[in-house]
Amino acid sequence: MKTICHSFIFFVFLIFILTGCQKEYSFDDVAPGTSSGSAVISFVDSSGNCSAPVIVGTFQAGNALDGSNKITIQVNVTDTGSYALSSNSLNGIQFSASGGFTLKGTQTIILTGTGTPVAGGSFNYTFGNSRCGFSVTCSGNAAPPSGGTGCKACVYVPLCVGSKYSYYDTVYGVASIKNGDLLSSVDTLINSKIYQKIAVSSGTGYYNCTNGETNTIAYGATSLGGITLQKIQMTMIKANATVGTTWSDDVINQLGQTVVQKFTIEAKGVSKMVGTFNFTDIIVVRLETGIDLPPFGYIGSALSKYYYAKGVGLVEVTTADPNSGLEIFHSVIKSYSIP
């Protein structure tokens, strides 16, 4: 039994081999702040508001927080003992503290920040259901590591509003042309991480580029085999990684099977003619896809190669049956335009 769930990558960078029945989802995956321990505390303000929190440290998108990133607040201790306090997680960072109180009354807590800010802007942090909160302003990333800026920060997947791509696709020997125009994008928070919700001519998807890693999420997409997957999340490419770097992403299909995706950076700096274009800086990502099928174990279903050209994006995809070697899918770029 073969489920062709191999090319999950088409478009958000548009060659998923998935045609979407995309749905709108509300994202509220951030757990509220928590406090625990034997101590009984409340925030100093009788109405439950923070009393002049003090924010210390530099907060910049892309730079991990350290011991210098702290928030000082005051609490009223009505029963001594241990405590653990944490804020909500937002924009990739969170603030927490733990310890013990031996005295009652007004006490000071210093919370240390952890994580890496995802984007610039002001973000509001709270503790549980209280009104105690504070705002942290993060500056933007001054120099994206991939060498680009804005929508071109990941130069091997430069998704910019107004971009137009067209591909010659061959699926099981049947040829067609697939067009994908990037129509719009908007910031969307998913599990405390900022994604771009991107609308293309074939549906919608979610995209995040951090330190050269391009991550995508799609909902309600259907594979060639007719299998609908509630959610697909994967890392498409790690542009700053060395040749030989591997990673994996698993997806549960509607049959309850685990679809295993094994990625490898196979080559970098490759020159290649793709259609009528001669690209001189390509990263090749190899994808082995299979099903974890108890009690038989892992059964391979497809072998794919993805070719990402610098400054352009995905320019070719090949997919073959791992047993027969027969080509299942082949796509080459026909034309492209990037603002």
pLDDT tens, 63-83? 788 888 898 888 888 888 888
pLDDT of residue 145: 41
SS3 260: strand
User: 295 Cβ partners below 8 Å, 6+ apart?
Assistant: none
State the average pLDDT over residues 271-282.
89
Task: In whole angstroms, give the CA distance from residue 86 to residue 97.
Answer: 6
Q: Is the dihedral of CA 141, 147, 148, 153 positive or negative?
A: negative
User: 285 Cβ partners below 8 Å, 6+ apart?
Assistant: 236, 237, 263, 264, 265, 266, 305, 306, 308
pLDDT of residue 244: 95
pLDDT of residue 25: 25
The per-residue pLDDT for range 137-157, each reduced to its tens digit, is: 887 654 444 455 678 878 899
* Residue 185 placed within a domain: yes
* Residue 133 placed within a domain: no
Does the structure show a pLDDT above 70 at 24? no
pLDDT of residue 48: 60
The reply to whether 157 and 218 lie within a common domain is yes
pLDDT of residue 139: 76
The reply to whether 166 and 63 lie within a common domain is no
**Sequence-distant contacts of 162-166: CB under 8 A, at least 24 apart:** 162/337, 162/339, 163/336, 163/337, 163/338, 163/339, 164/335, 164/336, 164/337, 165/11, 165/14, 165/313, 165/333, 165/335, 165/336, 166/333, 166/334, 166/335, 166/336
Give the CB-side neighbour count of residue 306, counting CA atoms within 13 A: 30
The reply to whether 53 and 103 lie within a common domain is yes
User: ∠275-280-285 over CA atoms, to 5°?
Assistant: 80
More confident residue, 212 or 6: 212
Q: Which domain holds residue 55?
A: 35-127
* Residue 134 placed within a domain: no
Task: Tally the domains of the chain.
Answer: 2
The reply to whether 121 and 156 lie within a common domain is no
The CATH number of the domain holding residue 157 is: 2.40.360
The per-residue pLDDT for range 94-103, each reduced to its tens digit, is: 898 888 889 9
The per-residue pLDDT for range 170-227, each reduced to its tens digit, is: 988 888 888 888 888 888 888 777 888 888 777 788 888 888 899 888 776 655 455 5
pLDDT level of residue 265 (50, 70, 90 thresholds): very high
pLDDT of residue 227: 54
For residue 309, how far is the Cα from the chain centroid? Answer: 21
pLDDT of residue 27: 27
* Residue 153 placed within a domain: yes
- Element at 258 (helix H, strand E): strand 258-274
The reply to whether 160 and 89 lie within a common domain is no
The reply to whether 108 and 252 lie within a common domain is no
Q: CB 330: neighbour CB atoms within 10 A?
A: 17
Tell me if the pTM is above 0.75: no
The reply to whether 252 and 287 lie within a common domain is yes
The reply to whether 227 and 278 lie within a common domain is yes
Cis amide linkage into residue 158, ω under 30° from 0 = no
Range of weakest confidence among 14-23, 123-132, 239-248, 264-273: 14-23
Encode 232-242: b = buried (16+ Cβ within 10 Å), e = exposed.
bbbbbbbbebe
Instruction: Please state, rounded to an integer, the average pLDDT across all residues of the chain.
Output: 77
* Residue 7 placed within a domain: no
pLDDT level of residue 30 (50, 70, 90 thresholds): very low
Q: To the nearest whole percent, how much of the chain has pLDDT over 70?
A: 79
- Is the distance from CB of 81 to CB of 100 less than 8 angstroms? yes
- Is the distance from CB of 306 to CB of 287 less than 8 angstroms? yes
Tokens of 235: 């890392």
* Residue 139 placed within a domain: no
pLDDT of residue 22: 30
Does the structure show a pLDDT above 80 at 272? yes
